[in-house]
Amino acid sequence: MPDHTRPPDRRATIYDVAAEADVSPSTVSRAFSRPSRVNSETAERVRQVAERLGYRTNPLARALTTSRTRMIALVIADITNPVYAGIVRGAQETAMHDEYTTVLIDAQESDRLERAAIERTMSTVDGIVLASSRMSDSAIRMFAKQRPVVVLNRAVADVPCVVTDNPRGVRRAAEHLGELGHDHITYVAGPQASWPNGIRWRSLLEAGMELEIKVRQIGPFSPTIEGGERAAEELRARPATAVLAFNDQMAIGLIRGLTRMGVDVPGEVSIVGFDNTLAADIVTPGLTTVAAPFYAEGSAATRHLLTMIEGAPGHTGRPMVLPVRLVVRHSTAARDRSVGRARPWVRRPPTLAARLPPPSKQ
Amino acid sequence: MPDHTRPPDRRATIYDVAAEADVSPSTVSRAFSRPSRVNSETAERVRQVAERLGYRTNPLARALTTSRTRMIALVIADITNPVYAGIVRGAQETAMHDEYTTVLIDAQESDRLERAAIERTMSTVDGIVLASSRMSDSAIRMFAKQRPVVVLNRAVADVPCVVTDNPRGVRRAAEHLGELGHDHITYVAGPQASWPNGIRWRSLLEAGMELEIKVRQIGPFSPTIEGGERAAEELRARPATAVLAFNDQMAIGLIRGLTRMGVDVPGEVSIVGFDNTLAADIVTPGLTTVAAPFYAEGSAATRHLLTMIEGAPGHTGRPMVLPVRLVVRHSTAARDRSVGRARPWVRRPPTLAARLPPPSKQ
DNA sequence: GCCGGAACGGCAACGGGTTGCCATGTATTG
DNA sequence: CAATACATGGCAACCCGTTGCCGTTCCGGC
């Protein structure tokens, strides 16, 4: 016979409470999980005893039979990327509101790590939000078969997805540059494996067609400040007057690289970024950029996941699309028509900003 | 009698594997958790069958008996603060290396939220790292009684702590400013509840004593760019030539605010920040700042926590101290002696950087 | 006074592993 | 060759709740 007298350091269980309140363990269980199923006076007594004994129901034991842990996993590609802070906040607040706990997994931009981490975590969570997954579509679908999954920032067939309105963002950026007199936009590409990178380029192609603006692409480069600086060097060989960068980090790298080369931003080259991270507001000149609603992304994806967990069918048709907006700052300006198209950049003494030190590692 | 023929969608259990491999469930269990306890050929066979059936041991079920979940909680004060990215990385990589999963909790700078989240999570994790906790010492000690806890960026009696060498960082900053000819340093304070804020000010008092530099404090201000801008306004009434800010965000706000007021940084005022966030390298002029080893902090705290979980006694003597270094950029310069002490700031036309727009929300 | 049904509480079988203890068979030792 | 030790594997209890099912009790209605 199990001995349910407990040493004082052990946490109280329903058995301890049951013994003390002189009811059966099942009654204690029901007093908490299905109060309507038990006499209100009894329930009250049980709750009093539980309180006195410091009883808390053990979520693990509960999960074992209900197979619900009230935990969800949020997988992000790179926690050092500030973009994810808002997403995490949105997801976590939404989850917390429904009394779910969020397990954050940082995949460190690695397909392999991402898979391994998910595999280890999957059985302990009720569902998964994949923000900017680096895994293949088929891998994602495989996970989606075993647990509710919502994909963020990417469209995967047969899996519920939440994306931002990349086409509209690109379109707005192109319009803005067009209005400033630019008739040619260079897209500085990020990682080829990145889904947003692909759709941004395609959207630019389309927008260019409609607005009668020529477009071209250079890259891919790493989606970092260093990547942007490398792109600046490449731009030296094939100058441009208007640049759309894959993200803010790269745009900032471009500003730096160009400025250091003596090219005036926005005087000679206009630059538009993507994401509207805090840094866009700090860099000189302030970066014109397409702002995405990160908090709303995390929140929407999580809310959708929670409804799926509650049993609703995942909406696997078209992805849910969230609106974006263009934030105009000082990195874009009217095209300088005095400068010839063929060789617009003249060597000139570095401007103030060119005295910036080379980027140093954090 | 339990029927262990399983529908194909259910995950395989040790019972399925046992039946298939023609051994008892306990042998399957041991084949994974204590391979030495079972014949190597048998173990191999079991593993093969398990592989074929796609068996994974259910961590919840395991936790129920072992009361080890191989999960740890990492509680941070504010995920939108880039400072925590490195800490999270360090913690997570260290945990992952030992096959632990990290549950990230964002307390959103709220004592209440922090407590509630920990309370809900505590029973499902083996230990907790509190990075910049906003709770009271006694609340922290209470949690520490129930689970292994390591505190980061704060010293709490009777609980293992990991801190950075704030005194040395402040000292190095003061020396640097002293060498540049500054004989007076103004400390721009962050949140009073913040432990680092207190120790930084006390360290500055001490350093000032030794180096014969006068010090004073203004604030507290919110530890954000806006807070820094507000501090800049207050500085107008009580000018300074050298400022040490609680963190980089505030330092950047100071640079902005002062520049907009027509004050030259570093010509008229030298500014030093704390943390060496990415933004310190992006702002113009580049921010001189005290760099903390975030990754190492997260890593060290986690490693210590893991040893405690494995049964080692927590080292509750002096906190573990991690080294810092001063990163000199362009926000500090020799004191401009042509400017009078009493009223150093002359109104003058805004410099280039003063054309910056006011800060806009993300 | 009898009957059907609701309210309430307990029993016992799970869920999926872990582990102390014992039984058997084999290897080692004197 | 007997005695002992060790290697293996199975039994069954246990971790801590949850829940289907059944027995009582009590109530209102006829």
Q: Using a CB-CB distance cutoff of 8 angstroms, which residues of chain B are in contact with residue A329?
A: 357, 360
- Residue A105 region by backbone torsions, left for phi larger than 0, else alpha for psi between -120 and 50, else beta: beta
Half-sphere exposure (Cβ direction) of A318: Cα atoms closer than 13 Å: 5
Q: Using a CB-CB distance cutoff of 8 angstroms, which residues of chain B are in contact with residue A129?
A: none
pLDDT of residue A246: 97
pLDDT of residue B91: 96
Q: Which has the closest alpha carbon to A89: A148, A144, A131, A122?
A: A131
Is strand D less than 7 A from the beta carbon of A30?
Answer: yes
Q: Which amino acid is present at A219? A: G
Residue found by looking up tokens 């000189």 in the block: A284
pLDDT tens, position by position, B75-131? 999 888 889 999 999 999 999 999 999 998 999 888 999 999 999 899 899 999 999
- Relative to beta strand B288-291, strand B325-327 is antiparallel
**CA nearest to B103 within chain A:** A103
Instruction: Give the number of other Cβ atoms within 10 Å of residue B39's Cβ.
Output: 12
Q: Using a CB-CB distance cutoff of 8 angstroms, which residues of chain A are in contact with residue B329?
A: 357
Residue found by looking up tokens 């999980």 in the block: A33
**Alpha-carbon A243 to chain mean position:** 24
Structural contact between residues B88 and A106, judged by C-beta atoms closer than 8 angstroms: yes
Q: Which amino acid is present at B243? A: V
- Which residue among A92, A104, A123 places its CB closest to the CB of B56? A123
Q: What percent of chain B has pLDDT over 90?
A: 78
pLDDT of residue A11: 86
Q: In whole angstroms, what is the distance from residue B216 CA to residue B188 CA?
A: 9
Q: Using a CB-CB distance cutoff of 8 angstroms, which residues of chain A are in contact with residue B330?
A: 355-357
Give me the average pLDDT of each 10-residue run along chain A (362 residues). 51 93 95 92 94 93 93 92 92 94 90 91 94 94 94 95 97 97 97 92 97 96 94 93 97 96 95 95 96 97 96 84 97 75 46 44 40
pLDDT of residue B81: 87
Residues 334-353 of A with CB under 8 A from B: 352-353
Q: Between chain A and chain B, how many beta carbons pairs sit less than 8 Å apart?
A: 144
**CA nearest to A360 within chain B:** B281
Q: Which of residues 1-30 of B touch strand D (CB under 7 A)?
A: 22-27
Give the Cα-Cα-Cα angle B173, B177, B181 (nearest 5 degrees): 165
Instruction: Give the number of other Cβ atoms within 10 Å of residue B28's Cβ.
Output: 28
- Relative to beta strand A325-327, strand A288-291 is antiparallel
**Alpha-carbon B70 to chain mean position:** 22
Q: Which amino acid is present at B204? A: L
Is strand D less than 7 A from the beta carbon of B39?
Answer: yes
CB contact under 8 A, A282 and B283: yes
Q: Using a CB-CB distance cutoff of 8 angstroms, which residues of chain A are in contact with residue B291?
A: 362
Q: Which residues touch strand C (CB under 7 A)?
A: A 22-27, 37-43, 61, 64-65; B 1-4, 10-11, 13-15, 25-26, 29-30, 32-34, 55-58, 61-62, 64-66
CB contact under 8 A, A252 and B282: yes
B101-106 sheet: strands from edge to edge: B101-106, B71-76, B127-131, B149-152, B161-164, B320-322
**CA nearest to A248 within chain B:** B282
Is strand D less than 7 A from the beta carbon of A212?
Answer: no
Q: What is the mean pLDDT of residues B151-174?
A: 97
**CA nearest to B252 within chain A:** A282
Count Cβ neighbours within 10 Å for each residue of B312-344 and write b for 16 or more, e otherwise: eebeeeebbebebebbbbbbbbebeeeeeeeeb
Q: Using a CB-CB distance cutoff of 8 angstroms, which residues of chain A are in contact with residue B120?
A: 99, 101
Please give, rounded to a whole number of angstroms, the shortest distance from the CA of A101 to a CA of chain B: 8
Residue found by looking up tokens 């950049």 in the block: A345
**A12 close contact with B: CB closer than 8 A:** no
**Alpha-carbon A110 to chain mean position:** 15
Q: Give nearest nucleotide to B28 (CA–C1').
A: C17
Interface test with B, best of A106, A142, A225 (most B CBs within 10 A): A106
Q: What is the mean pLDDT of residues B295-321?
A: 92
CB contact under 8 A, A64 and B69: no
pLDDT of residue A294: 96
**B329 close contact with A: CB closer than 8 A:** yes
- Relative to beta strand A127-131, strand A149-152 is parallel
Assign B256 a pLDDT band (cuts: 50, 70, 90).
very high
Q: Which residues pair with B218 in a beta bridge?
A: B188
pLDDT of residue A338: 54
Give, to the nearest 10 degrees, the angle between helix A40-53 and helix A14-21: 120
Q: What is the mean pLDDT of residues B52-71?
A: 93
Q: What is the mean pLDDT of residues B212-237?
A: 95
Interface test with B, best of A284, A287, A352 (most B CBs within 10 A): A284
**CA nearest to A85 within chain B:** B80
φ/ψ (deg, to 5) at A71:
-125, 145
Q: What is the mean pLDDT of residues B140-154?
A: 95
Q: Which has the closest alpha carbon to B17: B66, B54, B62, B58?
A: B54
Name the percent of chain A in helix, strand, coil, to the closest 5.
45, 15, 40
Please give, rounded to a whole number of angstroms, the shortest distance from the CA of B255 to a CA of chain A: 11
Is strand D less than 7 A from the beta carbon of A32?
Answer: yes
B184-188 sheet: strands from edge to edge: B214-218, B184-188, B242-245, B270-275, B288-291, B325-327
Q: In whole angstroms, what is the distance from residue B242 CA to residue B266 CA?
A: 9
CA dihedral B239, B242, B245, B249 (to 10 degrees): 90
CA-to-C1' span, A44 to D14 (A): 30
pLDDT of residue B292: 95
- Which residue among A108, A113, A357 places its CB closest to the CB of B330? A357
- Which residue among B93, B101, B225 places its CB closest to the CB of A120? B101
Local structure of residue A224 (DSSP, 8 states): S
Which of A179-193, A340-354, B20-34, B279-293 shows the lowest mean pLDDT across its residues? A340-354
Structural contact between residues A327 and A276, judged by C-beta atoms closer than 8 angstroms: yes
Give the three-class secondary structure for A334: coil
CB contact under 8 A, A355 and B330: yes
Q: How far is CA B125 from CA B64, B72, B207, in A?
A: 12, 5, 42
Tokens at B198, concatenated: 């207190």
Structural contact between residues A289 and A247, judged by C-beta atoms closer than 8 angstroms: no
Q: In whole angstroms, what is the distance from residue B267 CA to residue B250 CA?
A: 19
| Per-residue 3-state assignment (H helix, E strand, C coil) for B232-247 | HHHHHHCCCCEEEECC
Question: Alpha-carbon Rg of chain A, whole angstroms?
Answer: 27
Q: In whole angstroms, what is the distance from residue B28 CA to residue B253 CA?
A: 61
Instruction: Give the number of other Cβ atoms within 10 Å of residue B193's Cβ.
Output: 12
Q: What percent of chain B has pLDDT over 70?
A: 90
pLDDT of residue B314: 78
Please give, rounded to a whole number of angstroms, the shortest distance from the CA of B264 to a CA of chain A: 13
**B357 close contact with A: CB closer than 8 A:** yes
This prediction's pTM: 0.87
Q: Using a CB-CB distance cutoff of 8 angstroms, which residues of chain A are in contact with residue B228?
A: none
Sign of the Cα pseudo-torsion (A279, A282, A287, A288, in order) = positive
Q: Which amino acid is present at B238? A: R
Residues 209-268 of B with CB under 8 A from A: 225, 252
Tokens at B19, concatenated: 């039946």
φ/ψ (deg, to 5) at B320:
-75, 130
Residues 287-316 of A with CB under 8 A from B: 291
Interface test with A, best of B75, B103, B351 (most A CBs within 10 A): B103
- Which residue among A108, A281, A284 places its CB closest to the CB of B284? A284
Burial (Cβ within 10 Å: 0-12, 13-18, ≥19) of residue B23: buried
Residue found by looking up tokens 């509101």 in the block: A97
**Alpha-carbon B169 to chain mean position:** 17
